[in-house]
Amino acid sequence: MNGYIKLLLTAFLVCCISSCAKLDPSVYAELGASAPAVYEKGFREDSAVQCMAGWSEGNEVETLVNGAEYFPAMLEAVRSAKKTITFETFVAVDAVVTYDLVMALSERAEKGVKVHFVIDGIGSRKIDERYLAKLRHSGVEVEIYRPFNYFRPLHGNNRDHRKILVVDGKVAFTGGAGYADCWDGDVEKEWRWRDTMYCLRGPVVADLQHAFNDNWKELTGVELSGDGYFPPLSKVGKMRAQAVLGAPQERGDTLGASYLLAIDSAKESLLIEHAYFLPNKELRKALLRARARGVEVDIILPNDKIDTPVVRLTSRSHWPELLAAGVRIYEYGPCMLHGKLIVVDDALSIIGSGNFDDRTFFINDELNVNVLSESFAAVQRAVFERDLKQSQQMTMEDTGYSWAERPKLWAGKLIEPQL
């Protein structure tokens, strides 16, 4: 997610500081105990307003845990394409999985499939130019989102963090994973990453295609349309789903507002499993309100294997008030935890690319999907509980800082909205 901050930190630290004042989470509506339960119609209505997105029925969402499951499934979908492929990701670097994807996309383009490929200019800055040349030579339309420009640092601060793959407008994938060797495998080695992707079918696929169109139109001036991209979609399951577009410059904070609404709607249980947990004041207050209502709150976070140590260091500054209120916090042990998951009352699941931080809410382009389904939530709880068995519970003793850590903490708090 945020490895590039090391590259940018010196160049625009002053910009970071000045922009912090503009990130005002007080725009959130405070609902508290008055919020409807997630399974009530009122919640869907409130969510449609807060997220600027409607709900669709008749969807099916499959959970794919770790690269051993999601990379083969995504590659198979690409190879099956007959008309169109749209692909968008934050990280794509030299790796076996990247090579396989590039070759599959190129083969489909050479067979006449219209292929559109978007990668972030910072997250994917290390990709081999030969990959891009191969794609272009095969007829793939390739776009790079906002490559870093020293003369426009604020423009480059907005990154494309979405993960979207749509094939023939009928099947889609989203989640937290990028394309690098660390995402491959099944966390069988310490340097692998624990992550989840999701395969979606049904009417919600069109919403993911529209989400891809958001940045494709920005980059090219062209809006994709027609049956090849938006075919008629039948109901294939029983899940309600809502694709939430994170586009802060155009829509404001849709993702943070959706998190707040979900937390305030919790009546019994709240599961949070997130790679980068930097809740702003309003979200911390919402978590405390949930505990005051008697909601059981469990949070799994990365341990010292996190790829951005300053995030973990800064996150710990928020733990004391949460732990004091009875929130249970755990750190995942085997490897870097990169998943993004919230489950409310075993009914609502929030999945996608969005992290639990102000960069997600106010700066980056993101995509989340809210799924209302007890059966889907049961699968997410099972995944959560499996990870919980490999996690260690944190206590107040884990919230202190050594003298060596304090300067890093000060720096982290200074730039927290940018992490």
Q: Of residues 214, 267, 340, 387, which has the active-site annotation?
A: 340
Q: Of residues 114, 163, 170, 267, which has the active-site annotation?
A: 163
**Is there a contact between 113 and 85 (Cβ–Cβ < 8 Å)?**
yes
Is 340 labeled as catalytic in the residue annotation?
yes
Is 100 labeled as catalytic in the residue annotation?
no
Q: Of residues 116, 170, 274, 338, which has the active-site annotation?
A: 338
Q: Of residues 114, 116, 161, 285, which has the active-site annotation?
A: 161
Q: Of residues 46, 264, 345, 358, which has the active-site annotation?
A: 345
Is 6 labeled as catalytic in the residue annotation?
no
Is 338 labeled as catalytic in the residue annotation?
yes
Q: Of residues 168, 184, 214, 358, which has the active-site annotation?
A: 168
Catalytic residues: 161, 163, 168, 338, 340, 345
